[in-house]
A and B are shown apart, each in its own frame.
Chain A
């Protein structure tokens, strides 16, 4: 059974503010969902491999980059706040 305190902890780890009404509904819903996916623990299977997945990584050479500043302005213009060539945020170091 997941507790309301754990939900608060999860919300904080996930960087999400939850209202106190939501804490109640999320606790109930998340508990039911975790109870459902818990049946995975009972699956009797011989793992095909020791790793988490048989999927493989695909790598490529680090080449073919676009030219410097080509997309800078288009990307920066999507930022909620900017100053010159920078994305502007709240002061980080107090």
Chain B
């Protein structure tokens, strides 16, 4: 029996190399566990039928010691908005039911080249809109630490899969916290890379100016391993960039945005976990300083206006003509409205309508144009802060995982839970959520994460700071 609970990519790689077990053995161990736990947790929307065949290919590579990478034979879960050629993909939406991807996302191509095993596609909030995975058309995913609670979202399936040992690593996507918040709720590591450092080609678009793909793993080292494989400029994504990995400094200057933390609404257990992070850094001789990010007060309304506008534009392509669901109607227009009403869930329809509103003539200047200006201001504020500090430390989410159904009837309340994560996407800088403590609620241990933020392309510093906390 392979002990999956203590397994990391680093360890599995050594074991696969030394022949302690084969890639087939490892894949089979995960398949067995998925079979046992998935009915209750609802993490996988589909487990691929050719997992063992994929593992056999990896084993041949390992045996021949040819083209072996750190990821050869490592079993991954993939969020349901990342395309794998020839496999079904649906962004957890009814409107893409039955859709088969016609090409590989660039990140998938890179993982395939590295020899990764794809176990299956995992649940998410429909079209990456939400913060709990409750907006999936295929039912909520349950938090492995307490099955009455949400795993977070939108990459809730990815985070729950890693936390419950239903895969060794997962890919998620982060638009306003969708990798970091579920990582915090599930007690795992979630890296949101610099915007553009990982190609979006083959990621089903939600908010194109904010979306980025990143890894969810058990350790910071594992996140780094995956990030190094998937990053890099890609001709298929004009917003992609190469980031130079600078050698991190030894003694870190860590900024804490005090005004941001005194706003109230933060769970005491979250503050404890945050303070524990501060103390860890202090004890190791790093410097903690207060930093000011005044425009953060407007980050949430700015984020949501940009989100609505881009979501409504990106989802305009789903009309039942070229792919996905089509509902019969009397005219073409009739088919559009019926298809979109039936195919999209409530949150998607709300945001499409809100986006239509903020982009309409007469409102454009007051909302979208304004939001873009404030976004530039937020970006400038972060730039200024990173002139003086190496990383910024904040909580990842204001609370531990909440109960299923607790916020689902009030969309605005769900939005407010993104307070610490959305400014990062607006600024385009990289951030990571690392487990930093836990709180016992109703007899269940709930994990709590903290977030570290670095400057554009500062993944090197970010990851080395994260390793200090991750120990």
Judge if A58 is at the interface, Cβ distance under 8 Å.
yes
Question: In the complex the two chains form, what is the Cα distance from A92 to B360 in whole Å?
Answer: 26
Question: In the complex the two chains form, what is the Cα distance from A84 to B300 in whole Å?
Answer: 49
Q: Decide if A75 touches B373 in the complex (CB within 8 Å).
A: no
Q: Decide if A15 touches B337 in the complex (CB within 8 Å).
A: yes
Residues A53 and B375 in contact in the complex (CB < 8 Å), given A30-B350, A90-B329:
yes
Residues A52 and B368 in contact in the complex (CB < 8 Å), given A16-B344, A78-B323:
yes
Contact with B along A51-93 (1 / 0, CB 8 A): 0111100111000100000010011001111000001011010
Judge if A33 is at the interface, Cβ distance under 8 Å.
yes
Interface centre among A10, A16, A54, A90 (most CB of B within 10 A): A16
* Residue in contact with A92 in the complex, picked from B99, B329, B332, CB distance below 8 Å: B332
Contact with A along B344-358 (1 / 0, CB 8 A): 101001101111111
Judge if B321 is at the interface, Cβ distance under 8 Å.
yes
What size tier do the contact residues of chain B reach?
A: 35 or more
Question: In the complex the two chains form, what is the Cα distance from A66 to B232 in whole Å?
Answer: 23
**9-residue interface stretch from B10-18, B29-37, B125-133, B301-309:** B301-309
Question: In the complex the two chains form, what is the Cα distance from A90 to B330 in whole Å?
Answer: 8
* Residue in contact with A80 in the complex, picked from B324, B356, B358, B368, CB distance below 8 Å: B324
Residues on B with C-beta less than 8 A from A90 are 329-332, 334-335
Q: Decide if A58 touches B370 in the complex (CB within 8 Å).
A: no
Interface centre among B100, B238, B322 (most CB of A within 10 A): B322
Residues A89 and B335 in contact in the complex (CB < 8 Å), given A78-B99, A80-B325:
yes
Judge if B382 is at the interface, Cβ distance under 8 Å.
no
* Residue in contact with B376 in the complex, picked from A14, A53, A81, CB distance below 8 Å: A53
Residues A43 and B370 in contact in the complex (CB < 8 Å), given A16-B353, A33-B411, A48-B377:
yes
Chain B residue at minimal CB-CB distance from A7: B353
Residues A43 and B298 in contact in the complex (CB < 8 Å), given A29-B350, A30-B354, A33-B304:
yes
Contact with B along A11-36 (1 / 0, CB 8 A): 11111111000100010011011101
* A92 CB to nearest chain B CB (Å): 6
Judge if B372 is at the interface, Cβ distance under 8 Å.
yes
Judge if A39 is at the interface, Cβ distance under 8 Å.
yes
Chain A residue at minimal CB-CB distance from B302: A40
Question: In the complex the two chains form, what is the Cα distance from A80 to B332 in whole Å?
Answer: 13
Chain B residue at minimal CB-CB distance from A38: B301
Interface centre among A29, A32, A48 (most CB of B within 10 A): A29
* Residue in contact with A54 in the complex, picked from B102, B341, B376, CB distance below 8 Å: B376
Residues on A with C-beta less than 8 A from B412 are 29, 32-33, 36
Residues on B with C-beta less than 8 A from A55 are 209
Q: Decide if B367 touches A40 in the complex (CB within 8 Å).
A: yes
Residues A17 and B337 in contact in the complex (CB < 8 Å), given A10-B353, A29-B350, A45-B295:
yes
Q: Decide if B373 touches A48 in the complex (CB within 8 Å).
A: yes
Judge if B320 is at the interface, Cβ distance under 8 Å.
yes
Chain A residue at minimal CB-CB distance from B358: A37
Residues A36 and B301 in contact in the complex (CB < 8 Å), given A16-B340, A52-B373:
yes
Q: Decide if B338 touches A17 in the complex (CB within 8 Å).
A: yes
Q: Decide if B373 touches A14 in the complex (CB within 8 Å).
A: no
Question: In the complex the two chains form, what is the Cα distance from A14 to B315 in whole Å?
Answer: 10
Interface centre among A13, A14, A29, A79 (most CB of B within 10 A): A14
- Ordered nearest first, which 5 A-B pairs have the shortest CB separation? A17-B341, A80-B326, A37-B301, A78-B323, A58-B238
Chain B residues proximal to chain A, CB less than 8 Å: 99-100, 102-103, 209, 235, 238-239, 295, 298, 300-302, 304-305, 312, 319-326, 329-338, 340-341, 344, 346, 349-350, 352-358, 360, 366-377, 379-380, 411-412, 415
Chain A residues proximal to chain B, CB less than 8 Å: 7, 10-18, 22, 26, 29-30, 32-34, 36-41, 43, 45, 47-49, 52-55, 58-60, 64, 71, 74-75, 78-81, 87, 89-90, 92
Ordered by A's residue number, 10 sampled pairs between the chains whose C-beta atoms are within 8 Å are A15-B333, A15-B337, A15-B340, A17-B341, A26-B349, A39-B298, A40-B367, A40-B370, A43-B298, A45-B374
